[in-house]
Structures are given as structure tokens and as C-alpha cells.
Amino acid sequence: MSISADVELQDAGRRLILHAAGQRHEFAALWLRERAPDATTLDTRTGQRLIEASQLPLTLHVESASFDAQTLHVCFSDGHVTAYALDELLDDAAPDNADIASGLSLWDAELETLPQATFDAALEDDGALLAMLEDLHRYGFVKVSGVPCEEDGMQPLIDRIGPLRRTNWGGIADVKSVANAYDLTMTQRGLEPHTDNPYRDPIPGYIWLHCLSNAAAGGDSTLTDGFMAAQRLKAEAPEDFDCLARLSTQFRYTDATTDLESEGPLIELDSQGRLARVRYSNRTERIAAHDAALLERYYAARQRFYRLITDEALTVHLKLGPGDMLIMDNYRLLHGRTAYQLEGGVRHLRQGYVDRDSTASRRRVLGAQLAENAQHGASHTAQGVTP
């Protein structure tokens, strides 16, 4: 599709203004120069930068710019001449002031249909795997059915996505009640909504929670969309939201052989001000002894956030049965469980972690591959019917 666009220079060429499809986009001359899509600036095979961007003169400016159809031609003050495809430039243009990254659907207790996948289909069919990864990205979780009821039953599906993240607890580890539990997870008590392991660096990206048996009374899983809770907090009490987004708190885990600590805010924003992750772990939070006024501010904000993440209106309940598995985004969802009583039967779950970068990479690459295959298929079909 052809886009009509105009270009003008401002600030003696230090800024280039693009007017396209009714929108105004401003580009710094230095940004355009370091991103110049040509073989002397970027390696053609890897796309990685060949010039040292930090050595570009800070006075660099655009000498001239003009459009030729859908291509922007630019001549810089260092003598470099290059050309940009308009659609690619617009893709890179500064996004609007959204709170939430595009492609996410926030939810609450009204969520009508749980995102679901089938283990065998995701294992054998790339389209089903992509659908599962896209649901996981959009909703922050997916319920997978038909996982083999074996100790490491989830492993073949993990192998389709990325490496299992090993921790001091091993690879795929038990979640069941034991005597002398090293973590409250391994007891029969209920667990308040939390994110896992904010004392690690990096924090595990996705939790894979596989049910082998759940015959005990109780032990239901709860899920809350932390981004929805954060968005509600921002609407209800913007000063509380700001407090939780600005003040880092500490988290710590210790046992006989391990001493882990890390820190970060309960609500973390990305460089564009969008929600990037939530942390909440009452069991392991150890905030520093800041001055009392700051702590009082923080405690009030945290209490309001806690009321939201435990609000039934935001909570989805489900009970995992044998062969069910939840995959959860540990940077977005809070999960918990109701207490259970073992007199009623056995409760045995297994849990593993998979990183975010490898999961996102798999989704993007598989999406591009399947789109390309579909395009080839369509062009073959079109050729087939052309007389």
C-alpha cells in the first residue's frame, strides 16, 4: 500500500520530521545515521552495526532529505548517503503513549474461556505450537491438557521451545507436601498470589506447572493478571502506582546451601513507560529500612495493590487434574493456591522454568516461518491455476 508522506528538517537538520498518514514522526539525525540500512553501516548478513555509533559527531545533521515513491533518501553532514523504506521507518517510529504493549489482552474473573492447548498437538504440529505460544503471549497463561503423567512428562514440549532453566532445586522439581519443607510451597498451606522467585537474577520467565495427581481436598489454583491489577491501581490511585513503580524492594531466599537475593520494584515499567513486569512475594520480600515516611508511603501503596491482586473480581480459579499443566508468564501473572488436606488423597505437581527470551524468540521465528510457508503455498496455488 502506498503511503503519502512529506519530510522537513528542523534544528539545522539535527531533526527530521516525517508527516505520513496524518501522523507526525520526529527522528534524531544521529538515530537515522546509526540505523542507516546500508552495507557500510550494517553487516548485510547479520544486520549488526559495523560503525562505532558512539564516535559519530554529536553535531551530525541531515544536509538534505527527499522522497522518491516509498523511499526516503537522506544525505548526512558526514557525507554519508543512504535510503530508508518508508514502511520500515514508520514501524520504528516512536509508539504512542500506551500503558500496555500491543498484542496483550488483559483479563479479570470474567474471562470466559481459558486459553487452552493440547500436549500432543503442540508437540507434533507447528501451527498448534504457534497458537499455544501466541495465547501465552496474549493472556499470560495457557492450560495444556494431555500431558503424560510421568515425572518429566512436560520435557518433550519444553524441548520444542527452549532450554529448561535449571536452578538450585534442579530442573523439573516436585511441588508436594513434605516434612521439613525448605519452602512454603512444599507445605499444605494456602499460598497468597505471588510471582515466583523474585530473589533470582534473572527471574524465571515462564512457570510450567504439571499436575500428576490432585486428589487432596482443596489445592485449587488461582490466577490474577498482574497487569490488570496494576492498571486498576493506576486508575484508582496514581500516586500509589508511581510509588510501586519507582521504589525497588529486595527479595531473599536462603537454605543450607543457597543464599539468593535480588531487587526490583513491585511494578516495573519499560523504557517507554509500559508495564513490563510485576513482582510480589510476601514470603521473601525484605525491603530496606528506608526512612519512615517513605516506607509508610510504600506500605499504603502495597496494601492497595494487595487488595487488588486478591480481589475475587480479578481472580480466576481452576483445579488442575492429572495430565493438566499450566504455563504462566511469571513477569505478568500472580498465582496462588488454596490450602489442602492430604487426608483426602495425594497432591503431586511438578514444576519447571523456561526463559522469556527463548520463548519469545520461538514464537516470532515460528510465526515468520509459518507465514512464509503460507505465502509460498498461496503463490504455488496461484501459479497452478494460471493458464
Q: Find the shortest distance in angstroms from Cβ 356 to Fe ion.
A: 16
Beta strand 347-354 with 173-175 is: antiparallel
Nearer to Fe ion, 25 or 356 (CB): 356
Interface of this chain with Fe ion, residues 126 to 165, rule: CB under 5 A: none
User: To the nearest whole angstrom, how small is the minimum distance from the Cβ of residue 199 to Fe ion?
Assistant: 13
Nearer to Fe ion by Cβ, of 123 and 186: the residue is 186
The answer to whether residue 196 forms part of the interface with Fe ion (CB under 5 A) is: yes
Which region among 162-170, 188-196, 215-223, 292-300 touches Fe ion (by CB under 5 A)?
Answer: 188-196
Q: Please give the residues from 70 up to 129 whose contact with Fe ion meets the rule CB under 5 A.
A: none
Least CB distance to Fe ion at residue 335 (A): 6
The least distance separating Fe ion from the CB of residue 156, rounded to whole angstroms, comes to 23
Query: Looking at 8-16, 196-204, 274-282, 372-380, which segment touches Fe ion (CB under 5 A)?
Result: 196-204
Q: Closest CB to Fe ion among 196 and 240?
A: 196
Least CB distance from residue 177 to Fe ion, whole Å? 14
Q: Which is nearer to Fe ion, 196 or 329 (CB)?
A: 196
Residue 196 or 285 with smaller CB distance to Fe ion = 196
The candidate with the shortest Cα–Cα distance to 77, out of 66, 64, 61, 65, is 61
Stretch that binds Fe ion, among 146-154, 190-198, 340-348, 376-384 (CB under 5 A): 190-198
Q: Applying CB under 5 A, which part among 18-26, 166-174, 192-200, 285-293 lies near Fe ion? A: 192-200
> Least distance from C-beta 196 to Fe ion, angstroms?
4
CB of 310 to Fe ion, least distance (A): 15
522537513: which residue's cell? 8
135 vs 196, beta carbon nearer Fe ion: 196
- When CB distances to Fe ion are compared, the closest residue is 196
- Window of 77-85, 189-197, 251-259, 354-362 that interacts with Fe ion by CB under 5 A: 189-197
Is residue 329 near Fe ion by the rule CB under 5 A?
Answer: no
Nearer residue to Fe ion within complex by CB, 18 or 328: 328
CB of 163 to Fe ion, least distance (A): 21
Interacting positions 257-316 with Fe ion (CB under 5 A)? none
Nearer to Fe ion, 191 or 269 (CB): 191
Q: Which residues of 154-179 are buried (b: 16+ CB within 10 A; e: fewer)?
A: bbebbeebbebbeeebeebbbbbbee
Footprint of Fe ion (CB under 5 A): 196
